[in-house]
Structure 1
Amino acid sequence: MRWDIFCKVIDNHGDIGVCWRLAADLGGRGDTVRLWIDDPSALAWMAPAGAPGVEALPWDAARTFEPGDVVVEAFGCELDEAVVAAIARAARERGRQPAWVNLEYLSAEAWVERCHALPSPVLSGPGQGLTKRFFYPGFTPRTGGLLREPDLAERQQRFDRAAWLAAQGVDWRGERVVSLFCYEPPGLQSWFSQLAASGTPTHLLVTPGRAAAATRKLLDQGAPTGAVTVHWLPLLTQRDYDHLLWGCDFNFVRGEDSLVRALWAGRPLAWHIYPQDDGAHEAKLDAFLDWLQAPASLRQLHRAWNFGDAAAPAMAWDESQATVRAARDRLLGQPDLVTQLRAFVAP
């Protein structure tokens, strides 16, 4: 199939990260993909080698395009009228409408199952009379599933942890390794102090951007490092970000893409959910923890990390490991997102 995926970049690591993984997975299965994007700059470090079957194009160039078999509107990015008019024109000329899918954000909330796959008739404008359908990623069989490439498990099995850490300048000799990818979590200071005072040697691998800025601010304020050795990572390709997650004993992640990749990694994790002014993120986090069947210790860690309303509890490493592994096993029993999406739009 021929796909057109439209993406507006709000968070370089979020929208574009999901859209590129989707495009690359489709291309890897033999489809052709045009990724129309308003700011492709992050692809220079995220996917410098590109991907077979995938072409990244400027958003504005789509004003004079002929749609393929499927148009994906990622995260409600709202297509230009010229693009919608092109879909309508193709529908008239071909005698059937190109599939038009609104790929939504990931959530574990109950309403996702009710809304997944619902049609949305277009009632006005150049697309009047057309229909687009909602496709919701999710954690349960009644949703669209999660992105998972067919060779992911095989690549993880071949992964050489020691060699990869050494390539990042980490002199690893069996010490605990933790990755940090976050915004500015309220619980960072409490957690870091606990880790530093634990007496257990720990390599903390900090991703660039907001996570690095928050950590540097903490250190500049005089926070003792104690047992923690801090490593400042460069920008990583998507493949190397997977390697980071596989190489750590605990992963702090944020947003959507890194949460999904951390689940596939099967390592203990904590999610820094994107804060929303109306507080909707709190219900979203609770729904995820319910699905995860998180024990009390992991729930308390998430509360402290995201809201700072309690001191960070001692991290129950073994309990967290068992929880995430069990969740991953449940997910592996469900079809992945691209398998479901291709079936969803098949003529």
Structure 2
Amino acid sequence: MTHRLPPLQWDVFCRVIDNFGDIGVCWRLVAQLAALGHRVRLWVDDASALQWMAPEGCEGVEVRPWNAPPPGPDAPPPDVMVEAFGCEIAPEFIAYSAYQISAEGQKQSQPVWINLEYLSAEAYVERNHRLPSPIFSGPAAGWTRWFFYPGFTPATGGLLREPGLVDERHAFDPRAWRAAHRARYGLGEEVPGTRWVSLFCYEPAALPELLQQCEAVPTELLVAPGRPAAAVRAALRGAADEDEGGHRQNAPQRLSTQRGQLSISYLPHRPQAAFDAMLWACDLNAVRGEDSLVRALWAGRALVWHIYPQHDDAHHDKLYAFLDWLQAPASLRQFHATWNGIDSRPLHWPDAATLDEWTRCVENARSRLLAQGSLVAQLLGFVAEKR
């Protein structure tokens, strides 16, 4: 249920630490808030990805550079401040907000200040969700910052989900999408029984093994741009990168290539809605980070998560906590362990029965998630409570 609030001024702060996950999550958040009638200022230190992620922008969302001065005196002060992933709001903006409130007197209460944390299935998320963090010094002394944790269980803040997403997913025609893709890349008719796989990863050590196994079964591999495409091309160069006639391929300039029964398409950057549609069209989605993991769950297809690696191996516990929540079968847990470099056992490409088992697992997880409130709905409820 979405809480009815009057239109509020939201200021959302985002630093792009690595790749596109931070800005991807923040853009989905602000777009949903704006669609509900709220005004949003998105402060970001690198908005370049929005050129392809959201080329048409969003009515009601104003994108501001991180170091831009605070709004002028005629602009509305914030009703809600969201610092995404602990990015820490600029002191100048906090001082501006405090001054605006003191100038307004009793007519303006302090903003609801939310620290929107990273996504995890670990137990600490439920313990720390909605905890207060009082501010004892500076212009905002006496205010409270609240920790808000996205998550997979009813005791967390939920996941980002657009109101019409389920209906759009059910109405989607994967066969039409696949036919359009093959026509665009000049790939001809699809071989019966072809598995469609999307690849959005870092540089998994098991990637050459995956590509080799895909050559033995009809596979359409859709490779995301950037690090995934570079990793695939590096793996192919390591395997001599020759076509079936034994000729060297000029891989960096090719949009597609064929190796045995494996057809590889190198995709361009695409808007978020188009990325989601690609996931819906595939039989298996290899995703990474946070935003694409959530979108793969909503897709309801078999998925493999390449978790962001940390030097102290803290990501191991995070991965296994997610697999526990997912109720992943043993074969899917082992694939994750190999794919993420946690152990060196061989990578076993799933047969049809195994892939069906993985898909049912994700479908069941999606059903559990759909019974819970979305992240935006819970944020609105929280703000209504604190105001």
Aligned with 1:79 (options 78, 89, 98): 89
The CA distance in 2 between the partners of 1:110 and 1:94, in whole Å, is 41
1:80: how far off?
Answer: 1.2
1:164: how far off?
Answer: 2.5
User: Which residue matches 1:19?
Assistant: 26
1:300 aligns with 2:334: yes
Aligned with 2:78 (options 68, 75, 81): 68
Paired residue secondary structure (1:3)? strand
Answer yes or no: is the 8 Å Cα contact 2:78–2:97 preserved in 1.
no
- Show the 5 A alignment for 1:156-305: 156-168=169-181, 169=184, 171=187, 173=190, 174=192, 175-197=194-216, 200-222=217-239, 225-305=259-339
1:94: how far off?
Answer: 4.5
1:319 aligns with 2:354: no
Amino acid at match of 2:10: W
Answer yes or no: is the 8 Å Cα contact 1:48–1:237 preserved in 2.
yes
Paired residue secondary structure (1:63)? coil
Between 282-291 and 183-192, report the one with greater CA deviation: 183-192
Answer yes or no: is the 8 Å Cα contact 2:118–2:150 preserved in 1.
yes
1:30 aligns with 2:37: yes
1:166: how far off?
Answer: 3.6
Between 25-34 and 58-67, report the one with greater CA deviation: 58-67
User: Which residue matches 1:3?
Assistant: 10
Moved beyond 4 Å, runs of 4+: none
Paired residue secondary structure (2:215)? helix
Amino acid at match of 2:80: V
User: Which residue matches 1:335?
Assistant: 373
Between 335-344 and 220-229, report the one with greater CA deviation: 220-229
1:100: how far off?
Answer: 0.6
The CA distance in 1 between the partners of 2:112 and 2:137, in whole Å, is 18
Paired residue secondary structure (2:265)? strand
Aligned with 1:155 (options 168, 171, 174): 168
The CA distance in 2 between the partners of 1:166 and 1:62, in whole Å, is 49
RMSD: 1.5
Paired residue secondary structure (1:44)? helix
Paired residue secondary structure (1:242)? helix
TM-score by length of 2: 0.86
Answer yes or no: is the 8 Å Cα contact 2:222–2:264 preserved in 1.
yes
Aligned with 2:99 (options 89, 106, 111): 89
User: Which residue matches 2:383?
Assistant: 345
Amino acid at match of 2:375: L
**What does the per-residue CA deviation read over 1:194-234, in whole Å, with 9 as the maximum and x for residues that have no partner?**
2222xx21100000000000000011112673211000100
* Bigger radius of gyration: 2
The CA distance in 2 between the partners of 1:314 and 1:262, in whole Å, is 19
Paired residue secondary structure (2:27)? helix
Amino acid at match of 2:328: A
The CA distance in 2 between the partners of 1:213 and 1:296, in whole Å, is 31
Aligned with 1:41 (options 39, 48, 53): 48
The CA distance in 2 between the partners of 1:90 and 1:222, in whole Å, is 62
1:55: how far off?
Answer: 1.5
The CA distance in 1 between the partners of 2:132 and 2:38, in whole Å, is 24
The CA distance in 1 between the partners of 2:130 and 2:366, in whole Å, is 24
